[in-house]
């Protein structure tokens, strides 16, 4: 069994090479007393602890057809691999691209104002499709087997976050002396469901937690048709007639269909997924950056005013508090869990990143004063920038921990 596995590995490696030298069939194992090698079944990754070498043959027995490897071909192959690695690693540049998009929205807003609200659903759907391509159906089945984690994320969404929104509403009105409409905009941001971008951020930081994040976001979005109006009525006394059918259609369009399409493609057409998978990260980075900068570009003049700067300060403080609250809450609840750090990051994203686009749409549709829409517009950019800055920090910290442990 061992020798056949090694031969299979040898033949598989031969097929991957564009230019190779014919090798003798006999393989002589080297001595290794540290650990045996293992070939895990049902896995695409073969791990060897010992190196195999080919026995040296006399010059007279060498085949006359054996040719040295072509340096040009080897260089081209290495260049191709480096391009693929660059494409795969492009996610690490997301915070930088987001910052560039936000700066572009402030300095040259007309460059992003073309990206109107009609493009948001397809853009977010593409990000969910990218998550589906890199997942499988078993991940979502396992996610539903964690009710405690789902309940904690839901508690952070619709209890902790609205209370923080109301707190900063009070600060805005009583401490800073701003109008009640400004406070209403902050409360509106705190009462909407989680952002689909939180699932993408979780996917970049802890890929194994992405299905759990998607389940949390989907449940909060589905129940937002009832919970959001109730919270707004309790906190600011505003009745909002919500289009239930429209929100259900939006959830299906943005979350369910794209993820299902990615899962089915990965399940039945894996070769196609292998071809498109390296190109998904750079396109996803560009799409996420545009989604963050475009709403800000539409309200940039208001944001530059003293009122806009005051709202900016409140929105930053609100999101920062939400990220910290989600992280501390999950750390306390799951302190004995083996994956507590991954859960803390996941629930922190769920609590800190809101569907500010939904809040912006509700503000424009159901509030007469346009000042209410300023906080959701600023929140769209700020929560994206802060969330993906955390992605950069946590992924780098994770890599350093892996290096130190190894």
DSSP-assigned states of every residue in 18-46: SS-----S--EEPP--S---B--TT-S--
Work out the percent of the chain whose per-residue pLDDT is above 70. Answer: 71
Handedness of CA 77, 82, 88, 90 (dihedral sign): negative
Residue 293: its pLDDT value, please?
82
Residue 34: its pLDDT value, please?
37
Split at pLDDT 50, 70, 90, the class of 274 is confident
Map tokens 């802060």 to a residue.
386
Q: Which helix (H) or strand (E) holds 265?
A: helix 257-268
Split at pLDDT 50, 70, 90, the class of 351 is very high
Asked whether residue 3 carries a pLDDT value surpassing 70, the answer given is no
What 3-state class would DSSP assign to 299? coil
Q: What is the mean pLDDT of the chain?
A: 74
Least confident of 51-55, 91-95, 198-202: 51-55
Least confident of 71-75, 117-121, 159-163, 381-385: 71-75
For residues 188-211, average pLDDT: 85
Structure tokens at 221: 């979005």
What 3-state class would DSSP assign to 196? helix
Cβ neighbours, 10 Å, residue 275: 10
**Alpha helices of 334-373 — where are they, by DSSP H?**
340-352, 356-366
CA distance linking residue 303 with residue 311, whole number of Å: 8
Q: Which of 25, 64, 61, 313 is nearest to 168 (CA)?
A: 313
DSSP state of 183: H
Contact 161, 318 (CB under 8 A): no
Domains plus CATH for the chain? 2-15+24-54 (no CATH), 91-397 (1.20.1530.20)
| Number of alpha carbons in the 13 Å side-chain half-sphere of residue 168 | 28
CA distance linking residue 26 with residue 146, whole number of Å: 51
CA distance linking residue 389 with residue 28, whole number of Å: 50
CA 351 to chain centre: 14
End-to-end CA distance of the chain: 30
Burial 109-132 (b: 16+ CB within 10 A, else e): beebeebeeeebbebbbbbbbbbb
Residue 119: its pLDDT value, please?
81
Asked whether residue 363 carries a pLDDT value surpassing 60, the answer given is yes
DSSP assignment string, 93-151:
GHHHHHHHHHHHHHH-GGGTTTS-GGGHHHHHHHHHHHHHHT--HHHHHHHTT-HHHHH
Residues in CB range of 366: below 8 A, 6 or more apart = 238, 240, 241
Q: Which of 217, 219, 180, 185 is nearest to 201 (CA)?
A: 217
Plot region of 55 (φ>0 → left; ψ -120 to 50 → alpha; else → beta): beta
Radius of gyration of the chain (CA): 26
DSSP state of 238: -
Map tokens 């691209």 to a residue.
97
The C-alpha angle with vertex 156 and arms to 213 and 320, in degrees rounded to 5, equals 95
CA distance linking residue 375 with residue 177, whole number of Å: 16
Cβ neighbours, 10 Å, residue 140: 18
Residue 152: its pLDDT value, please?
92
Least confident of 119-123, 156-160, 189-193, 323-327: 119-123
Model pLDDT for residues 126-148, shown as the tens digit of each residue: 887 887 887 777 777 777 888 89
Model pLDDT for residues 7-65, shown as the tens digit of each residue: 444 444 444 333 344 444 444 444 343 333 333 333 333 333 333 334 444 444 444 44
**Alpha helices of 172-241 — where are they, by DSSP H?**
180-191, 196-205, 210-236
Residue 68: its pLDDT value, please?
54
């Amino acid at each position: 069994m061992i020798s056949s596995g090694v031969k299979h590995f040898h033949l598989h490696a031969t097929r991957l090479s564009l230019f190779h030298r014919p090798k003798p069939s006999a393989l002589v194992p080297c001595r290794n007393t540290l650990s045996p090698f293992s070939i895990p079944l049902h896995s695409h990754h073969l791990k060897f602890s010992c190196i195999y070498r080919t026995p040296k043959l006399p010059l007279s027995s060498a085949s006359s057809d054996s040719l040295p490897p072509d340096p040009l071909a080897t260089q081209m192959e290495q260049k191709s691999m480096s391009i693929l690695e660059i494409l795969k690693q492009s996610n690490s540049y997301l915070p930088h691209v987001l910052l560039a998009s936000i700066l572009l929205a402030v300095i040259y807003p007309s460059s992003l104002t073309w990206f109107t609200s009609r493009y948001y659903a397809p853009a977010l759907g593409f990000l969910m499709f990218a998550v589906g391509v890199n997942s499988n159906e078993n991940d979502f089945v396992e996610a539903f087997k964690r009710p405690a984690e789902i309940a904690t994320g839901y508690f952070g969404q619709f209890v902790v976050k609205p209370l923080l929104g109301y707190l900063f509403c009070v600060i805005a009105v009583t401490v800073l002396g701003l109008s009640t409409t400004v406070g209403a905009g902050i409360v509106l941001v705190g009462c909407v469901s989680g952002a689909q971008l939180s699932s993408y951020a979780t996917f970049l930081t802890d890929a194994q937690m992405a299905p759990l994040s998607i389940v949390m976001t989907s449940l909060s979005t589905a129940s937002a048709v009832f919970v959001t109006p109730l919270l707004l009525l309790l906190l600011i006394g505003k009745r909002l007639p919500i289009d239930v059918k429209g929100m259900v259609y939006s959830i299906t369009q943005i979350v369910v269909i794209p993820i299902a399409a990615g899962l089915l493609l990965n399940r039945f057409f894996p070769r196609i997924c292998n071809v498109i998978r390296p190109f998904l990260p750079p396109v996803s980075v560009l799409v996420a950056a545009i989604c963050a900068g475009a709403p800000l570009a539409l309200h940039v003049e208001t944001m530059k005013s003293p009122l806009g700067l005051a709202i900016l300060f409140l929105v930053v403080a609100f999101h920062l508090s939400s990220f910290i609250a989600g992280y501390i809450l999950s750390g306390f609840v799951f302190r004995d869990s083996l994956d507590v750090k991954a859960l803390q990051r996941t629930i922190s994203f769920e609590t800190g990143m809101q569907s500010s686009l939904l809040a912006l749409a509700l503000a424009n549709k159901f509030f007469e004063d346009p000042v209410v829409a300023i906080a959701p517009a600023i929140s769209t950019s700020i929560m994206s920038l802060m969330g993906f800055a955390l992605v950069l920090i946590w992924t780098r910290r994770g890599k350093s921990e892996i290096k130190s442990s190894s």
